[in-house]
Amino acid sequence: HSIHPKSASIKVVFMTSYLTAVIIMSSYSAAFITHLTLREIELPFRTFEEFLRDKTYHMGMVPNTAQMDYFKESKVDLLNIIYKKKIYPNRHMLPRNNNEGLEKICQEKNYAHVTSTYILIQQIRLIHCSIVLIPQAFFPGSIAITMVKESHYKGIFNK
């Protein structure tokens, strides 16, 4: 037997109950599928402090670059210590270029490569493994435009 309610108020209650059940079931299904498919990446470290404490990872970067100078010449003690303990001892094994450094990430399990976001975006299609950026281990960068002192275009940039 099927139930056929006669009054309008009962029909509204049935319809509301049905829609509520559908919405709850859909929400639960979406949350469950999200939980199964998206996993939170567990990083071995999130900051430069944690990186320094981690004894398993080593760091690389292209030698004689602004990134290396940032660690080597920094007024921040933490960055100097990272240079002395993690970069300088391995200076003979540093990659010759960023492409080589990014490939090294895929080949070595405990390797962190320092490069600019711009270079990473340019070369991301060449990387054959999944990589992750360390959220709180970064340093600011700047770009400069140089021109001759008497340039006619100087006024455009000084506005």
Q: pLDDT by residue (tens digit) across 143-157?
A: 677 778 888 777 777
Q: How far apart are CA 113 and CA 67, in angstroms?
A: 10
Q: How far apart are CA 147 and CA 157, in angstroms?
A: 11
Q: pLDDT by residue (tens digit) across 36-82?
A: 887 677 778 888 888 889 889 889 999 998 888 888 988 889 989 99
The pLDDT of residue 124 is above 90: no
What do you get for the CA distance between the two ends of the chain, in Å?
82
List, in sequence order, every beta strand (DSSP E) within 22-124.
Answer: 58-60, 111-113
Helix, strand, or coil here: 158? coil
For the domain spanning 43-159, the CATH number is 3.40.190.10
Q: Where are the domains of the chain?
A: 1-39, 43-159
How confident is the model at residue 35, as a pLDDT?
78
How confident is the model at residue 66, as a pLDDT?
84
Phi-psi region of 64 (alpha: psi -120 to 50; beta: other; left: phi over 0): left
Residues listed for the chain: 159
Whole-model pTM: value is 0.61
